[in-house]
Structure 1
Amino acid sequence: MEFLADYASFLAKTFTVLVAVVVVLVVVAALRDRGRRSGGGHLDVRKLNDFYKELRERLQHSVLEKDKLKALHKAEAKEAKRAKKEGIQKPRVYVLDFDGDIKASATDHLRHEVTALLSMATAEDEVVLRLESGGGMVHGYGLAASQLARIRDAGVPLTVCVDKVAASGGYMMACIGQKILSAPFAILGSIGVVAQLPNLHRLLKKHDIDFEVLTAGEYKRTLTVFGENTEKGREKFQEDLETTHELFKGFVARYRPQLSIDEIATGEIWLGQAALGKQLVDELQTSDEYLATRARVADIYQLSFVRKKTMQERLGVSVSAVIDRVLVTWWERLGRSRFWQ
């Protein structure tokens, strides 16, 4: 028992030291980041042709006989030499990725990526956006869509690929592409506007708690969480939703005039196969298939603006990852135990 007590004391002291070290690191990082100017980051550029070439060559080395492999390499080298001699310049394809959350936070990186590619891209090139988003705040996705409109206004062809979902604000972005490609079971549409909030007024009133809302301007606050909502306030809120919806419909109709906008702007969603029939997309094809095909005739560059994470962010991600692994592990164990019982 004495040994266990000493061991427990040792563990407690060790844990205390570790916590103290983490606290010190967080404080130091916070002080350093406070003096760091915002807007830092850099652009990463990766040539995807090299990735596809590596995949192909790995398979060729495993499958083809040596003489056939040698002949193939000789033919490829001859073709490359001929193209160089004739001065054949391949078109460029710039690949961007947008993984949207409710605030469209990825716009902070998208704006820099668009600025960079527009400094070089011409009408002979192409921009491919791999888009995944279920939508979110109007102003956030409005800004994201405006970044894509810069590409189209510059006369650079824009292709949008949707492998999983582009709904609501996500489709607001997708519709700007001259060509929209969708996986067969991707989710598209949801051209509508929604707003919801709880109201705790009756709960507060039940416990004799007053909540004051003071405004200057008749419609400064229409609906509130804690105050008493009025029918007039609800009507004004609904009116604002309808106005936003009309703007949304007009925006989509501007970039996709072939759509029957009143038919599809009901807030409904469609899977890729049905979306093709509604002309929400132009073709059923995954981004992998499209880019692999383009890599045969064009130089493909993946652009991603990277901002250095702060110490707090790195620690937060690490802690989150550990918690996720623990929860997933225990959930799997629980599921297996139930299955075998």
Structure 2
Amino acid sequence: MEYIAEFALFFAKTITLIGGLLAAVLVVTAVGQKTRKLHKGHLEVTKLNEHFQQLKESLQHALLDKEALKKLSKDEKKKAKKEKGAVTEPKSRVFVIDFHGDIKASGVKSLREEVTAVLSMAQPDDEVVIRLESAGGMVHSYGLASSQLCRIRSKGIRLTIAVDKVAASGGYMMACTGDRIISAPFAVIGSIGVMAQLPNFNKILKKNDVDLELHTAGEFKRTLTVFGENTDKGREKFKQDIEDTHGLFKNFIKDYRGKVDIEKVATGEVWYGQKAVEMKLVDELMTSDEYIGLKAENADVVQVAYVVKKGVADKLGMVAHGAIDTTLLKWWERLNGSRFFSS
């Protein structure tokens, strides 16, 4: 009983916090609606080869004496002069895109624009590298994010997924679309499962003589509820829906990464990169920095990012969403002791 009271108090605080934040966002949005302009995004392209060269030159100037720097400068001028007169084949290009996933896969808004831009220029010899970090989230959101990466595969452009920290659940759904998956040795991989849960306060309402009416059209319009009285039939339908979603998840992975033993890995477990190689969930242990550095030796490497300028209301909305995500995460940890959301 003490646990229920504590949970109810926590739930009430959560609702109050979320309500206050949403109210603030609505007020700011309403005030600025008349003068607010549409904030269009723009594409930012960073030539990583130049970035790497600048890092190298900075270190050279810090470590080498004047004579050594002078000799180095002469050698580079001779090399540049020689290359200028030579006929060289055009370099292939490597396009780098970053995706940092939250519960709602909000980054898909930029990802779809970045993929569209890259596909407008990419040639068959080029490659796209996605630096992916996500512990998963909502099924439909990560389904859309995965579909954006499938667009690259369908155009015949080589797709490499690089995971430095985590690609779990919906994050792995995205990762499996790659022709090749690399991960850092201790990156968290897997969580091929589906989870859904919600508290039910019906007994508390009954104890306090509070009636709740829920009217639906359609037998399974609502299966389980937070405040209503749940039935065995509703629970069975809810479980069946989860199983069906899990089946779709497994079939998607089989389609794009047929080398894995799907029944062995689709248990909801996670593995570190070293074990994930044995499970064939990833192909090779390597950080994204190492991989991109190697590519930069023979290819033109560019980072592509679609950036949207945010107004005051948008920024407050991001604060509110961040607070909500943090609250939900704490709620999850309290109930499950886990930091990983399942798709």
What range is the shorter-chain TM-score in?
Answer: 0.7 to 0.9
Q: 1:112 — aligned with what?
A: 113
Q: Where do residues 194-233 of structure 1 align in structure 2 (5 Å cutoff)?
A: 194-233=195-234
Q: Offset at 1:62?
A: 2.3
Q: Offset at 1:65?
A: 3.9
Q: 1:78 to 1:249 in 2, by over 3 A?
A: farther
Q: Offset at 1:267?
A: 0.2
Q: 1:28 to 1:87 in 2, by over 3 A?
A: farther
Give, in whole Å, the separation in 1 of the partners of 2:148 and 2:169: 17
Q: 1:228 to 1:43 in 2, by over 3 A?
A: same
Q: 1:44 — aligned with what?
A: 44
Tell me if structure 2 keeps the 8 A contact 1:29–1:310: no
Q: 1:101 — aligned with what?
A: 102
Q: Which amino acid aligns with 1:109?
A: S
DSSP-derived class of the 2:132 partner: strand
Aligned residues: 295
Q: 1:20 — aligned with what?
A: none
Q: Which amino acid aligns with 2:264?
A: E
Q: Where do residues 1-341 of structure 1 align in structure 2 (5 Å cutoff)?
A: 29-33=32-36, 36-37=37-38, 40-84=40-84, 85-314=86-315
Q: Offset at 1:55?
A: 0.8
Q: Offset at 1:314?
A: 4.0
Give, in whole Å, the separation in 2 of the partners of 1:202 and 1:318: 35
Any idea what the Cα deviations from partners look like across 1:101-132, whole Å, max 9, x if unmatched?
Answer: 00000000000000000000011111110000
Q: 1:17 — aligned with what?
A: none
Q: Offset at 1:74?
A: 3.8
Q: 2:331 — aligned with what?
A: none
Tell me if structure 2 keeps the 8 A contact 1:94–1:303: yes
Identity %: 57
Any idea what the Cα deviations from partners look like across 1:228-258, whole Å, max 9, x if unmatched?
Answer: 0000000001001001101100101111111
RMSD of Structure 2 on Structure 1 (CA): 2.2
Q: 1:62 to 1:314 in 2, by over 3 A?
A: same
Structure whose alpha-carbon radius of gyration is higher? 1
DSSP-derived class of the 1:31 partner: coil
Any idea what the Cα deviations from partners look like across 1:272-302, whole Å, max 9, x if unmatched?
Answer: 1111111111111111111111111111111
Q: 1:111 to 1:316 in 2, by over 3 A?
A: closer
Give, in whole Å, the separation in 1 of the partners of 2:196 and 2:234: 14
Give, in whole Å, the separation in 2 of the partners of 1:174 and 1:75: 43
Q: Offset at 1:172?
A: 0.2
Q: 1:28 to 1:169 in 2, by over 3 A?
A: same
With the length of structure 1 as denominator, give the TM-score of the two structures.
0.81
Give, in whole Å, the separation in 2 of the partners of 1:188 and 1:320: 26
Q: Which amino acid aligns with 1:235?
A: E
Give, in whole Å, the separation in 1 of the partners of 2:129 and 2:111: 13
Higher RCO, Cα 8 Å, sep 6+: 2
